[in-house]
Amino acid sequence: MTDTVKIVSPIDGRVYAERRIATGAEIESAVARTRRAREAWGEVTVKERAKFLEHFLDALLAMNEEIVPELAWQMGRPVRFGGEKRGVEERSRHMIAIAEESLRPSPRPDKPGFTRWIAREPLGLVMVIAPWNYPYLTAINSIVPALMAGNAVILKHASQTLLVGERFAEAFKAAGLPDGLFQNLVLNHADTERLIGSGQIDHVNFTGSVEGGRRIERAAAGTFASLGLELGGKDPAYVRADAKLDYAVENLVDGSFFNSGQSCCGVERIYVHADVYDRFVAGFVEVAKGWTLGNPLEADTLVGPMATPRFADLVRGQTLEALRKGARAHLNTRHDLDEEGSPYLAPEVLTGVNHQMSVMREESFGPVVGIMKVADDAEAIQLMNDSPYGLSASIWTEDLDAAARIGAKVETGTVFANRCDYLDPALVWTGVKDTGKGGALSEIGYQNLTQPKSYHLRAV
């Protein structure tokens, strides 16, 4: 009997698509084709690679009208947001544009009788293991720069969003990318770990859970493959007394509830200075009331279902625990287990929370946010750092010097001031603590996808 993966749609609980898992022989054949293709690709100039990648991007963007409802069926994002087209284009075009400069050999200072430089060479075969929450954006972070740097790519996409891998493959085929250079494989966990441990993979980029990252590390142990891991998050925001409150409220509601809270850098906890706490909470609750739950295929829906019922049940559990411990819910009049097992979960705002509650320290990855009052910057910094994670943190203030000073003391990969939930491709995307290791985007993304090689030439 052939093993398959089923995409169960969060919209109606029915199987939306089903795909066959690759056999061992098919995996071996794919790896062999990919390695052969990479050897030839290494001889192609960066400018020529850019043409292929630009054609790929154009082909992918041309599919967006079909991709948007397809995403809603696979993982529940409302169609009104138009998919991930804008971010995919921004990141891809930036990484293509900076490739030549980022990959150019770096000459060393003159030394009589010697010519010296450091070159960047491709690692070889890059495996991208992509998640379901932003299935195009997270994959594009590695796929485009990996190919631009001269690597070959194998993509293993999340089972919830398998059709995304097929869209990538279709776009690469339309762009005329050399056969085998990009491979989309449907794999189970055991075969994925077996492939990583085979020694045939040179770099793994994984976005997912902390436990998933640990499994990747164990699978790669002894192979000396390099790793890029973006794992859990519990991103904080701090609203200072001098913040523009209306602006902060509007953006933090969006940062908390967009994509049903299923964003790697979504805001999961907010600390507000005591002087503006009451006004901020009142404004936040009022704006949040407009983020209503509904069918993601309807044009006016702002919040769709979570990707699976078990994700929604985790958030329900955290919310109920907080309420039992004294928190106050502001959006929903009742919280019980009547809806357990449903992916549809309305946004919630909690006050009266503290760090003894899991909703303030453990990853939620759903449409719930806790708001706490703080006395000053020092207390805000202490609470922001009271987490095993560190992906991004946002500070809301009119004093950018203060934001930089506070940000320097926050344990995080990215410090925002007066914005959140955004990846600037000119800046490295990285994390600290249990959020992971490595970095994507910017010139540093290229450094992590290449191997330095020194040239030390002496004239005789």
Smallest CA-to-CA distance from 377 within 269, 234, 275 is with 275
State the amino acid at position 409 in one-letter form: K
Residue where the block lists tokens 């079909």: 66
Distances (CA, A) of 383 to 102, 251, 376: 38, 21, 11
Q: Are 130 and 207 in contact (CB under 8 A)?
A: yes
Is there a catalytic annotation at residue 250? no
Residue where the block lists tokens 């009997």: 1
Q: Could you say which of 264, 265, 348, 363 is catalytic?
A: 264
**Is the Cα torsion angle 287, 293, 295, 296 positive or negative in sign?**
positive
Rounded to whole angstroms, the Cα distance separating 423 from 244 reads 23
Q: What's the token pair of residue 376?
A: 């000053």
Q: Strand 114-122 relative to strand 125-130: parallel, antiparallel, unpaired?
A: unpaired
Distances (CA, A) of 292 to 73, 178, 304, 388: 19, 46, 9, 31
Using DSSP's 3-state secondary structure scheme, residue 119 falls into: strand
Distances (CA, A) of 322 to 156, 236, 330, 355, 357: 37, 18, 13, 10, 6
Distances (CA, A) of 271 to 279, 305, 372, 436: 13, 27, 5, 24
Cβ contacts of 197 within 8 Å, gap of 6 or more: 219, 220, 221, 222, 223
Rounded to whole angstroms, the Cα distance separating 85 from 80 reads 13
Neighbours of 274 (CB within 10 A): 12
Q: Could you say which of 230, 268, 348, 363 is catalytic?
A: 230
Q: What's the token pair of residue 276?
A: 């503006």
Smallest CA-to-CA distance from 187 within 154, 164, 209 is with 154
Is there a catalytic annotation at residue 264? yes
Rounded to whole angstroms, the Cα distance separating 350 from 276 reads 17
Q: Are 339 and 297 in contact (CB under 8 A)?
A: no
State the amino acid at position 154 in one-letter form: I
Active-site positions read 230, 264
